[in-house]
Amino acid sequence: MKNRIPLTEFLKPEVVSRLSRLDLIARLVVEGFITGLHRSPYHGFSVEFSEYRAYQPGDPLKQIDWKIWARTDRFYIKQFEEETNLKAYLLLDVSGSMAYGSGKITKLQYATWLCAALAYLMLLQRDAVGLALFDITLRRYLPPRSVFSYLSLLLQEMHHIKGKGDTDISTTFHRLAERIKRRGLIIILSDLLDEPERVLNAFKHFRHQKHEVIVFHILDPTESQLHFPKETLFIDMETGEKISTDPRYIAQSYHMQFEKFIDQYKRECREQNIDYVSLFTTTPFDQALFQYLIKRKRMG
């Protein structure tokens, strides 16, 4: 921070990993994203995101854009559209497999940072945001609210999570689909390491309830290739089961199964009009945030 790192650098997970405060991470990722939008071919999205008007006596001082003041020596505030009726639900996987990371960043850290940034961005747009933490069951549920002060409670819930325990995505999602009555936007952040047929059936339940769905499939780069140079002991992070093998002899077969696993999600999500986004923990956050804006625009 003291070296005045450009905001867009905070779209890189390895840069974000140097920070400890989740509120700071969320703000810097989103500000970096907005700055990037203004410089990118997707400028139209940034125009839709916010407009500016001259400051008037009585306007909240916290809405003043100090960067514009520094450039123009005039006070402007962000003017948002009237509060929308959108209710968004962030479904964050906190099971044991999410704690895996072949490098400095685990899948759970990446998913939590992205989840925090999405919450920040949506509340900035006056959307109502809720949070569900799940593993084998629903661990915590915070219903959607649209006031920006709600962010601190959402981040507080995310801050202390640790990936542990088994996964039962299907059962949890079916229960949530019955619980969430009003049509909204369901945003799933998970490694989806469960039986694909059952998980996809649960996705269909959300669609049957008329929800829009975005799936952020969070993966570690090592999971796609199985690059281990010698015999390795693998430990299931959810069940504790152990198996020793030489990955060099099974790498090709593993890669084919992994591709089949990904392709099944891609194909069936497409058939159900579900936005599927595959993200490795090295993927810059703007790619995910832009997918959210695309979905948001489609919803009107």
CATH superfamily of 87-298: von Willebrand factor, type A domain (3.40.50.410)
pTM (predicted TM-score): 0.82
> Rounded distance, CA 138 to CA 265, Å?
23
235 CB burial (10 A radius; 0-12, 13-18, 19+): exposed
The yes-or-no verdict on residue 154 having pLDDT over 90 is yes
> Rounded distance, CA 144 to CA 187, Å?
13
- Structure confidence at residue 48 (pLDDT): 53
Per-residue pLDDT tens digits for 2-49: 456 888 999 999 999 999 999 999 999 998 998 887 666 555 555 455
Instruction: Report CA 267 to chain centroid distance, whole Å.
Output: 21
Per-residue pLDDT tens digits for 173-213: 999 999 998 899 999 999 999 999 999 999 999 999 999 99
- Residue pair 30/124 in contact (Cβ under 8 Å)? The answer is yes
Structure-derived torsion over alpha carbons of residues 244, 247, 249, 255, reported in degrees to the nearest 10: 130
Distances (CA, A) of 295 to 159, 192, 233: 27, 21, 42
Per-residue pLDDT tens digits for 100-136: 998 889 999 999 999 999 999 999 888 899 999 999 8
- Structure confidence at residue 149 (pLDDT): 92
Helix (H) or strand (E) holding 84: none
Q: Determine the average pLDDT of the residues in 75-84.
A: 55
- Structure confidence at residue 5 (pLDDT): 80
In the chain the first and final C-alpha atoms are separated, in Å, by 37
Give percent helix, percent strand, percent coil of the chain, each to the nearest 5.
50, 20, 30
Q: What's the pLDDT band for 1 if we cut at 50, 70, 90?
A: very low
Q: Determine the average pLDDT of the residues in 71-100.
A: 76
- Residue pair 269/275 in contact (Cβ under 8 Å)? The answer is yes
- Residue pair 169/93 in contact (Cβ under 8 Å)? The answer is yes
Q: What are phi and psi of 218, to 5 degrees?
A: -90, 125
- Structure confidence at residue 105 (pLDDT): 95
Per-residue pLDDT tens digits for 244-268: 666 665 667 767 888 999 999 999 9
Structure tokens at 152: 């601190």
Instruction: List CB contacts of 100: < 8 A, sequence separation 6 or more.
Output: 106, 107, 163, 220, 223, 237
- Structure confidence at residue 82 (pLDDT): 45
Instruction: List CB contacts of 236: < 8 A, sequence separation 6 or more.
Output: 242
- Structure confidence at residue 297 (pLDDT): 79
Half-sphere exposure for 5 (CA within 13 Å, toward CB): 16
Strand partners, 93: 134
The yes-or-no verdict on residue 167 having pLDDT over 70 is yes
Per-residue pLDDT tens digits for 53-70: 556 666 677 777 777 677
Q: What's the pLDDT band for 285 if we cut at 50, 70, 90?
A: very high
Q: What's the pLDDT band for 271 if we cut at 50, 70, 90?
A: very high
> Rounded distance, CA 146 to CA 86, Å?
9
DSSP label at 64?
A: B
- Structure confidence at residue 236 (pLDDT): 56
The yes-or-no verdict on residue 83 having pLDDT over 50 is no
The yes-or-no verdict on residue 81 having pLDDT over 50 is no
Q: What is the DSSP string of 111-156?
A: HHHHHHHHHHHHHHTT-EEEEEEESSSEEEEEEEE--TTHHHHHHH
- Structure confidence at residue 15 (pLDDT): 96
